[in-house]
């Protein structure tokens, strides 16, 4: 990966001059998005709890992408002090925050029967997936509102619009994220802040490998390929990153309140794929 000015015409540097903070940015969707945003000229702040991966990625982006600037900050999104520090770090380093991508998330215990769930099962997922996104939006808006511009983006899931073989807390949390995005869209429009969300299908990431118990991304791909709705394509983190790039670029300067579903049309399929647990 080389510099935006080398790989693209100047008109194709779609995030040139912008500062982006990405939570959960050290791996999976966050990593792919950080790399792509940097290629398009953004200064990227990677926020995560995976310190070694995050620092390594920031150094790699810094060395491979000319005229870009990438840094890492430790951030547990369930801890407000961490989120505030991540936002403040981005602004202190670059003088502004243009893009807040609330991407960090966890799946919880996979496919546990509702009768077996505990309050702790829900709290762990909601602390990261819901409370963490609220904190991200809160502190991003604090910096964006005085400038009368900015973009806040959330990673939700296709289970927010359809059925999926996921944990009940995860499904509920991702529906909450879409609801939050819509509400914030209406509340922040007066400040010139756009708010959107992305709802992807199961993505080939280390998190999905752990959540399904398959343990390996290649095994997840083997499981997903036969049931993919759009044949011939296996969705991956780069597909979500490109959707994020579109939503955070000036090409969508009048797009707000949109939930972009990246699932190959699966949510429109009336057939439920896979064996559904009953309880």
Same domain, 59 and 111: yes
Q: Name, in order, each residue with C-beta under 8 angstroms of 92's C-beta and a sequence gap of 6 or more.
A: none
pLDDT tens, position by position, 19-41: 999 999 999 999 999 999 999 99
Q: Which helix (H) or strand (E) holds 71?
A: strand 69-74
Instruction: Tell me what the mean pLDDT of segment 105-133 comes to.
Output: 90
Same domain, 163 and 226: no
The pLDDT score that the predictor gives to residue 211 is 55
Q: Is residue 80 part of a domain?
A: yes
Report the C-alpha gap between 255 and 16 in whole angstroms: 19
Range name among 3-17, 118-132, 242-256 with the lowest pLDDT average? 3-17
- Domain of 13, in residue numbers: 4-200+237-260
Residues 219, 207 share a domain: yes
Query: Is 27 a domain residue?
Result: yes
Instruction: Report the CATH number that the domain containing residue 54 is assigned in CATH.
Output: 3.40.50.720
Residue 229 lies in a domain: yes
Pairwise CA distance, residues 64 & 30, whole Å: 17
Specify whether 57 is located in the same domain as 167: yes
Count of domains forming the chain: 2
Confidence (pLDDT) at 177: 98
Residue 274: the pLDDT is 45
Based on the domain organization, do 55 and 176 belong to the same domain?
yes
Q: Give residue 200's pLDDT.
A: 93
- Indicate the SS3 state at residue 229: coil
For residue 160, pLDDT over 50 is answered with yes
- Report if residue 63 sits inside a domain: yes
| Domain match, 18 and 121 both | yes
Q: What is the DSSP string of 12-57?
A: G-TTTT-EEEEETTTSHHHHHHHHHHHHTT-EEEEEES-HHHHHHH
Which of these is catalytic: 122, 167, 170, 256?
170
Mean pLDDT score across all residues of the chain: 87
Dihedrals phi, psi of 35, to nearest 5 degrees: -65, -45
Specify which of 2-11, 252-261, 262-271 reaches the highest per-range mean pLDDT: 252-261
Handedness of CA 124, 127, 132, 134 (dihedral sign): positive
Q: Which of 153, 144, 4 is nearest to 70 (CA)?
A: 4
**Higher local confidence (pLDDT), 251 or 276:** 251
Supply the pLDDT for residue 272. Answer: 47
Q: Out of 157, 167, 171, 173, pick the active-site residue.
A: 157
Number of Cβ atoms within 10 Å of the Cβ of 6 = 10
Instruction: Return the number of other C-beta atoms located less than 10 Å from residue 237's C-beta.
Output: 21
Q: How far apart are CA 20 and CA 197, in angstroms?
A: 16
Catalytic residue among 174, 197, 199, 249: 174
Residues 141 and 176: their CA atoms lie apart, in Å, by: 19
- Using DSSP bridges, classify how beta strands 19-23 and 43-48 pair: parallel, antiparallel or unpaired: parallel
Does residue 229 share a domain with residue 175? no
Residues 146 and 212 both lie in one domain: no
Higher per-residue pLDDT: 65 or 114: 114
- Asked if residue 176 is part of any domain, the answer here is yes
Confidence bin at 276 (pLDDT 50/70/90): very low
**CA 8 to mean position of chain CA atoms:** 25
| pTM score of the predicted model | 0.88
42 touches 241 (CB < 8 A): no
CA 262 from chain center: how many Å? 12
71 token code pair:
């840094």
CA dihedral sign, ordered 207, 208, 211, 214: negative
Note whether residue 105 is domain-resident: yes
Same domain, 52 and 187: yes
Segment 106-124 shows an average pLDDT of 86
Q: Is residue 268 part of a domain?
A: no
DSSP state of 191: G
Q: Using one digit for the tens of pLDDT, what is the confidence trace for 207-231? A: 655 555 555 656 666 666 666 677 7
The reply to whether 251 falls in a domain is: yes
End-to-end Cα distance, the chain: 49
Does one domain contain both 97 and 16?
Answer: yes
Residue 170 is a catalytic residue? yes
Whose CA is closest to 205, among 30, 49, 21, 73? 30
Pair 214, 105 in one domain: no
Strand spans (E) along 77-127: 99-102
To the query of whether residue 174 is one of the catalytic residues in this protein, the response is yes
CA-nearest of 22, 15, 61 to 42 is 15
Q: Give residue-wise pLDDT tens across range 162-206.
A: 877 788 999 999 999 999 999 999 999 999 999 999 999 877 666
**Is residue 8 over pLDDT 50?**
no
Same domain, 180 and 116: yes
Determine whether 110 is an active site residue: no
């Amino acid at each position: 990966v080389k510099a935006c000015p080398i790989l693209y015409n100047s008109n194709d540097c779609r995030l040139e001059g912008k500062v982006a903070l990405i939570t959960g940015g050290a791996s999976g969707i966050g990593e792919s998005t950080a790399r792509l945003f940097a290629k398009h000229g953004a200064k990227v702040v990677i926020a995560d709890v995976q310190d070694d991966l995050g620092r390594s990625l920031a150094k790699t982006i810094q060395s491979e992408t000319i005229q870009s600037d990438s840094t890492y900050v430790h951030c547990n999104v369930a801890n407000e002090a961490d989120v505030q520090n991540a936002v403040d770090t981005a602004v202190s380093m670059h003088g502004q925050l243009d893009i807040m991508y609330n991407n960090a998330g966890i799946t919880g215990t996979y496919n546990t029967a509702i009768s077996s769930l505990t309050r702790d099962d829900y709290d762990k997922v909601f602390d990261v997936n819901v409370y963490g996104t609220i904190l991200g939006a809160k502190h991003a808006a604090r910096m964006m509102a005085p400038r009368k511009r900015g973009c806040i983006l959330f990673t939700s899931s296709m289970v927010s619009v359809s059925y999926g073989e996921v944990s009940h807390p995860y499904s509920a949390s991702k529906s909450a994220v879409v609801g939050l995005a819509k509400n914030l869209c209406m509340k922040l429009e007066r400040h010139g802040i756009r708010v959107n969300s992305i709802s992807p299908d199961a993505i080939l990431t280390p998190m999905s490998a752990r959540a399904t118990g398959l343990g390996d991304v290649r095994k997840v791909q083997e499981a997903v390929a036969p049931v993919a709705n759009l044949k011939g394509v296996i969705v991956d983190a780069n597909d979500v990153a490109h959707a994020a790039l579109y939503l955070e670029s000036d090409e969508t300067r009048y797009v707000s309140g949109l939930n972009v579903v990246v699932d190959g049309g699966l949510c429109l399929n009336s057939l439920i794929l896979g064996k559904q647990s009953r309880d």
